[in-house]
Structure 1
Amino acid sequence: MNNILLICPDAPEKLIALTPALSILKRNFPRAKISVISPQPWFFKNNSAVFSSIPLPRFHKLRRLLKEEKYDLLILTKPSFKYALAAFLAGVKKRIMPHNFYTSFLADTPVRTEAGQSAEKFFISLLKPLFVYLFPAERKIFVDKREEEQAAEILKQAELEAKDKFICIFPGAKRAHLNCGKEFYAKLNDKIALKHKNLKILLLTNGKEDIHTANEIFWRCIKKPAIIREVLDLDVLSAVIAYSQGVIGGCSLPAHIAAALGKKSIVFAPLKAEDFLDIPPASAIIKPKPQPCEGNCLKTCRACCLKSITLAQTYEVFDKIFTLKNSPKKGIFNEERTFSLFNN
C-alpha cells in the first residue's frame, strides 16, 4: 500500500474520532502516503500520520482526482452512494466501506459493524480487513501559531489574557434536555468564582443559537464571567480551548476538542447517552440518578433527567478534577472514567 485515501463526509466530532485510526494506519504502513478528504480538512493539519488533507470536492472533481492520483486503497467512513460510485468509476482497486444496501455492491470489501459502538471503534473496525496490528491510540488535533495569535486576540477582547488560568464552560445544546439548565450554569459559575478567585471562567459559544443561551447565563451570574459573543471558526475555537485549563459542558464539539488537545473536561450526559451520542474521552462523565426514562432523547424528553444533577455534586467533581486538592475516593471512577456520586 503506497497511496491511501480516506473520504470522511462526517461531522467534526466524528473527524476527531478518526485520528486514532489514522495513527494505527500509519504505524502499519509507514511508507504509505495517507490523504484525507473531509469538509473540515484543518482537523488533520500538522498530523504526522497525514500526508495531505483535501476539502470535500464535488462528484466529477473527486472522480478526476481519484483517477489522476491512482490510489491503491480507498476507505469511505460513511455510506455514500455518490462517493462509492466515484471510486468505482475511477477504478480504485481496494475499496473498503461500511456495509450498506446502496453502497455494498460498489465496495470491494464491505464491512459489517456492530450496532451502538462509538465512532472511534467504528473507524478502527474499518481497518480490520487490512489485517493491521491494532494498538491503543489517542485522539489528536494540532493548533498552529497563526491560530494561537487569533485566539489570543479574541481572549483579549473578552478581557482575558492568554497567560490567565481559566476554564471554558460550554452551555450550548441544540436541545435543552441534552444539557443542564441556564440557572445551573450560572450558579456553577458563581460557586467556582467564589471558591477559586485565581481561576477565571469563559463562556464559549459555537453557533448563533448558543450566543443567546450564553447571554442569558451571563446576566444570571452574580460574578460576571468572560464571554465570547461571536461564532468562531473551529480552528480558532480549538486554539481558545488550548489556552484554557479545560472544558465543562454537554457531549458537544468543545468536549471532543478538549479530549484531542489533552485538556481536562467534565461532561454531562443523559441516562441514554450511549444510545445516540458519541461521548468523548473525559476526565469525568456525570450522569443523573437512575430513574424511569422514556428513552426518546433524540426527540423531546419530558423527564429531562439532567435536571437531577445538583450543583453540590458537580462542584465536588470539579474540585477533584481541576484543583487536585483531594485524590478521588475509591469506587467513584470505574475503568471507563465515568463518575457517579450516586454509587458513592
Structure 2
Amino acid sequence: MRRILVCQLRQIGDVLLATASISLLKRRFPDAEIHVLTEKKCLPMLENNPDVGKVWAIDKGRLNTLFKELAFYWTVARQGYDIVVDFQQLPRCRWVVGLSAAPVRLSYTPEWYNRWLFTHTVKPLDGYSAMAKASVLRPLGIEWNSEPPRLYLTDAERRFAADYLARYGVTEEHRVITVDPTHRRATRRWPARYYAALIAKAAEAHPDLRFLLLYGPGELEDARAVLEACPRPEAVILPDEIISLREMAACIERAVLHIGNCSSPRHIAVALGVPSFIVLGATSPAWTFPAPEHTQVSLGMDCQPCNRNSCEKGYACLEGLSPDVVWEAMQEHMVRCGL
C-alpha cells in the first residue's frame, strides 16, 4: 500500500479522535503515505503528527462555487490512493470517495443508496468513540487495543504555555486545573454558577490549585459568568484574550487535571495524557476514554443519554446535578489519580 486517504470532517474533537485510527493504519502499513481530508478549522489537531503525510483542508471561503468544490474534490480523489477510509459518509466525503479509483474504499455499513461507493463495509463496534472508529478498519486486519488519540505539541508551544501561565501568577507552588465551562449546546452545558461553586470547594480544600478557564470565540461571557459567581475568585484565571487551539492544548498539558463539559478539550486532555473529569448531560459515556484516569459524572436520569440539542424538561439532567454531588465524585477521582 503506497497511499491512504482518511476522510474525517467536523468536529474538532472528532478529528482528534480519528488520530488513533491514523496511528493504527500507519502501524499496519508503515511504508504508506497517509493523507487526511478534513475542514480548515480542524487543522490544528493534525499539525506536527508524524503519521500524517498531507492534509487536504476544505476551506468553505475559498470553495465558494460548485465548480471550485468539484475541482478540489477531483484533485484530492485522483492522488492514486490504494485505500480510502470514510468515517462519516457526509456529502463532501462521498464526492471524494466516488471520484477516487481506490481499489479499497472502506466505511461503516451505509444506507442502501450509498452502498455502491464502497468495496468494504462493516458495522462499527459499540463503545468508546475512537474505538468505534477504529473498528471500521477490521477488514484491513486492524484491531483497536486501547490506543488513545494523539496530539503532538512543539517545544515552542510548550514554552508559550509556561510563559502564559506565569503571566497570570502561576508559580511552581501551584497546580493547574483547566476548566471548560462552555458548550454551544445547552443540553451539554453544566450551569456556570455550578462550576463556580465546584471551583470554590476545590480551592478551599486545596489552596495551591489554580483554575484556568478555557473559552473560544463567542464564549467569553460563559467563562466570565463562572468567575463572577465564584466565592474564591483569587483561584480563578480568566484570560483576557483568546489563544489558539494548540496553545490551549499546551496549557492543558501543564495541568494536573481537566474538568468540564463534553467538548474537544476533554479529548485533547486524553491525547496529552492529562486526567479528565467530565460533567455529562445529553452526551453518552461512550466519549470517555476507558482508563481509570478518565471519568465522568451524570445525574443518571432515565432519559440519559438522549444526545439531543434541546430539551422540553428544562435541562433537568444538568440543573439537578448539584455541585455537592459533583465535588464528591471529583474528590474520589483526584484521589484515584494521586492528586
Q: TM-score, normalised by structure 1?
A: 0.82
Distance 1:79 1:250, change over 3 A: same
SS in 2 for 1:15: helix
Distance 1:289 1:112, change over 3 A: closer
Q: How does 1:111-126 map to 2 (within 5 A)?
A: 111-113=122-124, 118-126=128-136
Residue matched to 1:76: 86
* Contact 1:167–1:248 under 8 Å retained in 2: yes
Confirm whether residue 182 of structure 1 aligns to residue 192 of structure 2: yes
* Contact 1:10–1:78 under 8 Å retained in 2: no
Confirm whether residue 222 of structure 1 aligns to residue 231 of structure 2: yes
Residue matched to 2:324: 312
**Aligned positions, number:** 322
CA distance in 1, matches of 2:27, 2:305: 44
* Contact 2:128–2:289 under 8 Å retained in 1: no
Confirm whether residue 212 of structure 1 aligns to residue 221 of structure 2: yes
* Contact 1:21–1:124 under 8 Å retained in 2: yes
Distance 1:127 1:177, change over 3 A: closer
Residue matched to 1:61: 72
Confirm whether residue 273 of structure 1 aligns to residue 275 of structure 2: no
* Contact 2:203–2:209 under 8 Å retained in 1: yes
Deviation of residue 263 (structure 1)? 0.5
Q: How does 1:253-272 map to 2 (within 5 A)?
A: 253-270=264-281
Flag structure 1 segments of 5+ consecutive residues without an equivalent: 328-344
Deviation of residue 312 (structure 1)? 3.0
CA distance in 2, matches of 1:223, 1:122: 41
Q: TM-score, normalised by structure 2?
A: 0.83
Flag structure 2 segments of 5+ consecutive residues without an equivalent: 60-68
Distance 1:293 1:258, change over 3 A: closer
Distance 1:2 1:317, change over 3 A: same
* Contact 2:149–2:270 under 8 Å retained in 1: yes
Deviation of residue 289 (structure 1)? 4.5
Moved more, 253-262 or 122-131: 122-131
Confirm whether residue 299 of structure 1 aligns to residue 310 of structure 2: yes
SS in 2 for 1:207: coil
Letter in 1 for 2:46: F
Query: Alpha-carbon deviations, 1:189-208, whole Å to 9, x = none?
Result: 21222221111111111331
CA distance in 1, matches of 2:129, 2:58: 20
Distance 1:102 1:181, change over 3 A: same
* Contact 1:205–1:230 under 8 Å retained in 2: no
Distance 1:6 1:239, change over 3 A: same
Confirm whether residue 20 of structure 1 aligns to residue 20 of structure 2: yes
Confirm whether residue 130 of structure 1 aligns to residue 132 of structure 2: no
CA distance in 1, matches of 2:336, 2:155: 30
CA distance in 2, matches of 1:47, 1:166: 26
CA distance in 1, matches of 2:337, 2:58: 47
Distance 1:134 1:21, change over 3 A: same
Q: CA RMSD in A?
A: 2.9
Distance 1:164 1:103, change over 3 A: farther
* Contact 1:160–1:226 under 8 Å retained in 2: no
